[in-house]
Copies of this chain bind each other. A is one copy, B any other.
Amino acid sequence: MPKIKFETDYQEGCHPRILERLVSTNMEQTSGYGYDPHTEHARELIRATIGRPNAGVYFMAGGTQTNATVIKHFLKPYEGVISVSSGHINVHESGAIESTGHKVIALPGINGLLDAGELRQYLAAFYDDPTYEHMAIPGMVYVSYSSELGTLYTKQGLSDIKSVCSEYGLKLFIDGARLGAGLTSETSDMTIKDIAGLCDAFYIGGTKTGALLGEAVVFPEPERQDLRHFTTLIKQQGGLLAKGRLLGIQFEALFEDGLYFENARHANSQAMKIRQAFIEAGVEFLIDSPTNQQFPILTREQNEALSEKFSYETWQPMDDGRTAVRFCTSWATSDENISALIEAIHQL
């Protein structure tokens, strides 16, 4: 019998309402490359959702591609991008940012989050250094909401980072691969409009919130960007789908009646049940995550017991022999599977 998977938030296909939309539109004839009515409609829906009727909205096929393209757009050749050490671009993109010619400048951060104070200190020291002309110039800041460790910036924390960016002339880009999980977390004090107001660009992750694939890049203030040739840049980076509507149709479905947030809320809600079960079982966590990724620390026995029926990611070995693991939920996580897992946790 196959194990029940809690490995990732992309282990099923797409939400049935998205699939239905793909089926019902399948034989329509449309122009390629995103010049179709569905994609245009999806753009309008996103603009309305964030309250920015002029926002630049572009669809791409995956997170790494999106990060590399947006960062390449913002940076001059001699500039680097600041990220917390655990940031996706610094660890898990196979050097994609460097392959576009730019250094990722890694700062330690706290619990996967960049700290405004640390950022300011770094920048002050940078420009105080008489040799700074010989270093990659910091040109932008990259943060993730929610972070790679499931944690969240407070509105104040992100505003502080934005202030430092403004002070030093840096662009701020928010990786929203798990934006839904972040915004619908009970602990979040931000809305998607807040996100739009606090950055130069962000993306709305579709892949991990119910789409087959697709990320929507948003430039809230396009008049401050030179976006005339952004589609050409997407093309150059290999991110322009011939059947661009595949992305448009999915985002149409996600933003027409709130499915995006519904999916994310479901994922969080299921994750909180897992969290509660581990707490009740006296299991500690690597990090206190209020979103759809949970990082309990298991003893060898616990790990063996759970892994009999469930699969999940090994995150990192702890010094005391225990292992931090990751349980991930999504729009597709069923109550049935959650119940089975909780039961198993209670038997640990």
Shortest CB distance A141–B (Å) = 16
Residue of B nearest to A29 (CB): B5
Question: Which A residues, 41 to 98, have Cβ-Cβ distances below 8 Å to chain B?
Answer: 61-66, 68-69, 72-73, 76-80, 91-96, 98
Residue of B nearest to A99 (CB): B101
Q: Is A235 an interface residue (CB 8 A)?
A: yes
Question: Which A residues, 211 to 255, have Cβ-Cβ distances below 8 Å to chain B?
Answer: 212-213, 226, 229, 231-233, 235-243, 245-246
Q: Is A103 an interface residue (CB 8 A)?
A: yes
Q: Is A136 an interface residue (CB 8 A)?
A: yes
User: Are the CB atoms of A233 and B77 closer together than 8 Å?
Assistant: yes
Shortest CB distance A121–B (Å) = 12
Residue of B nearest to A2 (CB): B29
Known A27-B13, A78-B236; judge A93-B229 contact (CB<8 A).
no
A26 to B19, CA, bound (A): 9
Q: Among the listed B4, B16, B91, B241, which residue makes an inter-chain contact with A26, where contact means beta carbons less than 8 Å apart?
A: B16
Question: Which A residues, 109 to 160, have Cβ-Cβ distances below 8 Å to chain B?
Answer: 130-131, 133-137
User: Are the CB atoms of A231 and B5 closer together than 8 Å?
Assistant: no
Known A77-B236, A95-B136, A238-B96; judge A19-B16 contact (CB<8 A).
no
A333 to B231, CA, bound (A): 28
By a CB distance below 8 angstroms, the chain B residues around A28 are 12-13
Q: Is A338 an interface residue (CB 8 A)?
A: no
User: Are the CB atoms of B32 and A13 closer together than 8 Å?
Assistant: no
Q: Is A324 an interface residue (CB 8 A)?
A: no
User: Are the CB atoms of B94 and A233 closer together than 8 Å?
Assistant: yes
Q: Is A276 an interface residue (CB 8 A)?
A: no
Shortest CB distance A272–B (Å) = 21
User: Are the CB atoms of A237 and B29 closer together than 8 Å?
Assistant: no
Q: Is A100 an interface residue (CB 8 A)?
A: yes
Copy tally for this chain in the complex stands at: 4
A7 to B332, CA, bound (A): 38
A236 to B78, CA, bound (A): 7
Q: Is A11 an interface residue (CB 8 A)?
A: yes
User: Are the CB atoms of B238 and A213 closer together than 8 Å?
Assistant: no
Q: Is A30 an interface residue (CB 8 A)?
A: yes
Shortest CB distance A47–B (Å) = 21
User: Are the CB atoms of A80 and B95 closer together than 8 Å?
Assistant: yes
Q: Is A278 an interface residue (CB 8 A)?
A: no
By a CB distance below 8 angstroms, the chain B residues around A64 are 235-236, 238, 240
Q: Is A261 an interface residue (CB 8 A)?
A: no
Q: Among the listed B99, B212, B226, which residue makes an inter-chain contact with A246, where contact means beta carbons less than 8 Å apart?
A: B212
Known A11-B29, A207-B243, A238-B96; judge A77-B73 contact (CB<8 A).
yes
A94 to B26, CA, bound (A): 29
User: Are the CB atoms of A100 and B80 closer together than 8 Å?
Assistant: no
Told that A65-B238, A76-B226, A95-B136 touch, could you supply 6 new A-B pairs with CB distance under 8 A? Answer: A7-B32, A64-B236, A134-B235, A134-B240, A208-B242, A238-B239
> Would you mind naming 30 contact pairs between A and B with Cβ atoms under 8 Å apart?
A2-B29, A7-B32, A8-B31, A11-B31, A13-B245, A22-B22, A62-B238, A62-B239, A62-B242, A64-B240, A66-B238, A76-B226, A77-B100, A79-B229, A92-B131, A92-B135, A93-B235, A94-B233, A95-B236, A98-B102, A99-B237, A100-B101, A103-B104, A130-B314, A133-B232, A136-B236, A207-B241, A213-B242, A213-B246, A238-B239
